[in-house]
């Protein structure tokens, strides 16, 4: 593939060197401990994006190379010119295999564009599951440790609540004293008012009885003082009144 | 103390209830019910008894001098606030609890440090996606393939090796 030609340019050079030599260090690529200052620490290669290409196989660096002199359309013009030259001079012969290749190329492009993403997603999923399976032990241990740390912190926070409890106990003591004090006040008040009310009630009762007795005595005397002839006069008057009333 | 306290609870019961661990909730509800009982007893009586209407009594009661006598004695009466005998115990309890809490916190913090160290160790390990097969052998010597000392046939699982004894297979048949 033509992109291999672009390997020796740009930043990919260093990676090839690193891949070809065996890494001696077992520390990860992102390790921050620098405890091997004697030998230059070979960075472990981490997965990178592939080199950028245009049209699927032409490296981006070539376009950058052309940009200064010929602008944006330079490489394309160069490519068209070159292919035209090769084809017109029959240096590149379009014979049977060429047309086979062309059809195959079209089919390949269609296949990659249509099925590529789906297959890539499926394969990535499988890889992710595989990786997750390997990492699950460490991950579960990490979550367990974090949970334990959280639990310890919650326990400490709860322990502080004991001080609030002591404040509540103090308040309970104060409330009990207050309750007893109020009870005493009310006792005194009740006793005093009880006695005074008793006196008032006694007065009222005596007055009522005296009044009732006097009234009944007066009524009895009045009734007994009505003579017989007064009674007869009263009855005659009542009958006359009734006659008058009946006439109306 | 002679000061009368306000007749409402100045404790944030909600915040206190949050801090109670689950296995002590029963004790907490008991404590709260007791506190509520004390509060109810305080609220049962008014803060000060109502004033006595001496003039009305003087008009109604015919016993000579009784109302004046009562009034004099009533206003001269001083009811002592009940003495506080247990606050000292509460203070001692608070000190003890503070010590306990400090001790618990130090122990708890050492435990947290230990957990954090373990977390740091796990973070420092080589991630699996950067391991080579050599690194795997360094990390898990028993699980790695060892073609020199213990060669195995593909696919390097125990069932396909020569000396495998199937647990579920029937007993030896002749």
Interface with chain A: mutation pick from B25, B94, B113, highest number of A CBs within 10 Å:
B94
Task: Report helix, strand or coil for A47.
Answer: coil
Q: For A134, name the nearest residue in chain B, comparing CA atoms only.
A: B128
Per-residue pLDDT at A27: 55
Please give the pLDDT value at position A128.
Answer: 94
pLDDT at B109 over 70: yes
Residues of chain A neighbouring B15 (CB-CB closer than 8 A) = 164
Cα distance between residue B45 and residue B38, in whole Å: 12
Residue A5 has pLDDT above 70, yes or no: no
Give B90's contacts in chain A (Cβ within 8 Å): 166, 169-170, 173
Which residue in the set B19, B34, B42 is minimally distant from A182, CB to CB? B42
How many angstroms separate the CA atoms of A61 and A222, rounded? 142
Nearest to A29 among B42, B79, B130 (CB): B130
Contact A177 B67 (CB under 8 A): no
Interface test with B, best of A164, A175, A197 (most B CBs within 10 A): A175
pLDDT digits (tens, 9 = 90+) for A137-155: 999 999 999 999 999 999 9
A162 → chain B, closest CA residue? B97
| Mean pLDDT value across chain A | 83
- Residue B77's pLDDT band, with cuts at 50, 70 and 90, is confident
Q: Answer yes or no: is pLDDT of A8 > 60.
A: no
pLDDT for position B12: 83
pLDDT of A37 strictly over 90: no
Confidence of residue B11 (pLDDT cuts 50, 70, 90): confident
CA dist., res. A210 & res. A198, Å (int): 18
Give the tokens for residue A108.
């390949």
- pLDDT mean across residues, chain B: 85
Query: Has residue A1 got a pLDDT over 50?
Result: no
Contact (CB<8Å) B119/A145:
yes
For the cut 60, the answer to whether the pLDDT of residue A30 exceeds it is no
Cα–Cα dist A55/B125, whole Å: 41
pLDDT at residue A228 tops 80: no
Q: Angle, to 10 degrees, between the axis of helix A74-88 and the axis of helix A60-70? A: 100
The pLDDT value recorded for residue B172 is 65
- pLDDT (0 to 100) of residue B65: 80
Euclidean distance between CA atoms B93 and A166, whole angstroms? 8
Neighbour tally for B57: CB within 10 Å: 20
**Cβ separation B116–A28 shorter than 8 A:** no
pLDDT of residue B174: 60
Answer whether A166's CB lies under 8 Å from B97's CB: yes
Q: Please indicate whether, in this complex, the C-beta atoms of B35 and A177 are within 8 angstroms of each other.
A: no
- Shortest alpha-carbon distance between residue B172 and chain A (Å): 38
Cβ of A172 within 8 Å of Cβ of B34? The answer is yes
DSSP three-state, residue A58? strand
ipTM greater than cut 0.85: no
Nearest C-alpha in A relative to B56: A200
**Structure confidence by residue, pLDDT tens digits, B121-155:** 999 888 888 888 888 888 888 888 888 888 888 88
Q: What is the DSSP string of chain B?
A: --PPPPSS--S-HHHHHHHS-GGGHHHHHHHHHHHHHHHHHHHHS-SSPPPP-HHHHHHH--STTHHHHHHHHHHH--PPPPP--SHHHHHHHHHHHHHHHHHHHHHHHHHHHHHHHHHHHHHHSPPGGG--HHHHHHH-TTTS-BTTTB--PSS-SGGGSTT---SSSPPPP-
Q: What is the pLDDT of residue B6?
A: 57
Give me the mean pLDDT over the A118-128 stretch: 96
Whole-number percent of chain A with pLDDT over 90? 42
pLDDT value at residue A23:
37
The alpha carbon of residue B20 is apart from the nearest alpha carbon of chain A, in Å, by 6
Distance CA B161, CA B152 (A): 7
Which tokens sit at B86? 């247990």
Is B108 in contact with A156 (Cβ distance < 8 A)? yes
CB contact under 8 A, B46 and A182: yes
Digit-coded pLDDT (tens) for A101-122: 999 999 999 999 999 999 999 9
Q: Say if the Cβ atoms of B90 and A135 lie within 8 Å.
A: no
- C-beta separation of A25 from A44 below 8 A: yes
* pLDDT tens readout for residues A72-101: 898 999 999 999 999 999 999 999 899 999
What is the reported pLDDT for A43?
76
Task: Pick the more confident residue, B51 or B174.
Answer: B51
Q: Which residue has the tokens 């007791």?
A: B34
Residue of A nearest to B90 (CA): A170
- In a mutational test of the A interface, the residue from B62, B136, B140 whose CB has the highest number of chain A CBs within 10 Å is B62
Could you tell me how many CB contacts below 8 A there are between chain A and chain B? 171
pLDDT at A25: 40
């Amino acid at each position: 593939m033509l992109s291999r030609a672009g390997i020796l340019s740009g930043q990919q050079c260093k990676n090839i060197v690193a891949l070809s030599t065996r890494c001696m260090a077992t520390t990860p690529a992102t390790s921050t401990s620098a405890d091997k200052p004697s030998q230059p620490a070979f960075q472990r290669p981490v997965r990178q994006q592939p080199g950028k290409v245009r049209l699927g196989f032409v490296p981006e660096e070539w376009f950058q190379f052309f940009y200064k002199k010929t602008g944006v359309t330079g490489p394309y013009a160069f490519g068209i010119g070159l292919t035209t030259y090769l084809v017109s001079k029959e240096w590149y012969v379009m014979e049977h295999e060429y047309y086979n290749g062309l059809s195959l190329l079209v089919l390949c492009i269609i296949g990659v564009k249509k099925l590529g993403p789906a297959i890539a997603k499926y394969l990535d999923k499988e890889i992710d599951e595989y990786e997750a399976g390997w990492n699950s032990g460490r991950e579960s241990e990490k979550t367990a440790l974090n949970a334990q740390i959280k639990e310890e912190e919650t326990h400490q926070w709860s322990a502080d609540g004991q001080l609030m409890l002591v404040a509540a106990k103090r308040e309970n003591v104060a409330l009990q004293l207050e309750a007893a004090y109020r009870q005493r006040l009310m006792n005194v008040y009740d006793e005093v008012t009880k006695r005074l009310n008793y006196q008032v009630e006694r007065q009222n009762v005596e007055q009522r009885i005296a009044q009732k007795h006097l009234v009944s005595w007066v009524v009895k005397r009045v009734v007994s003082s009505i003579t017989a002839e007064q009674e007869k006069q009263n009855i005659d008057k009542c009958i006359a009144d009734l006659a008058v009333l009946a006439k109306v | 103390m002679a000061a009368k306290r306000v007749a409402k609870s100045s404790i944030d019961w909600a915040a206190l209830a949050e801090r109670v661990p689950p296995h002590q909730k029963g004790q907490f509800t008991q404590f709260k019910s007791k506190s509520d009982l004390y509060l109810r007893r305080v609220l049962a009586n008014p803060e000060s008894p109502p004033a006595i209407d001496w003039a009305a009594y003087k008009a109604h009661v015919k016993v000579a001098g009784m109302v004046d006598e009562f009034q004099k004695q009533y206003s001269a009466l001083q009811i002592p606030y009940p003495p506080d005998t247990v606050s000292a115990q509460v203070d001692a309890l608070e000190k003890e609890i503070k010590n306990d809490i400090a001790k618990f916190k130090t122990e708890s913090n050492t435990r947290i440090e230990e957990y954090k160290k373990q977390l740091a160790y796990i973070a420092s390990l080589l991630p699996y996606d950067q391991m080579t097969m050599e690194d795997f052998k360094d990390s898990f010597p028993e699980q790695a393939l060892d073609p020199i000392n213990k060669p195995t046939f593909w696919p390097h699982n125990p069932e396909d090796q020569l000396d495998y004894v199937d647990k579920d297979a029937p007993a030896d048949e002749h």
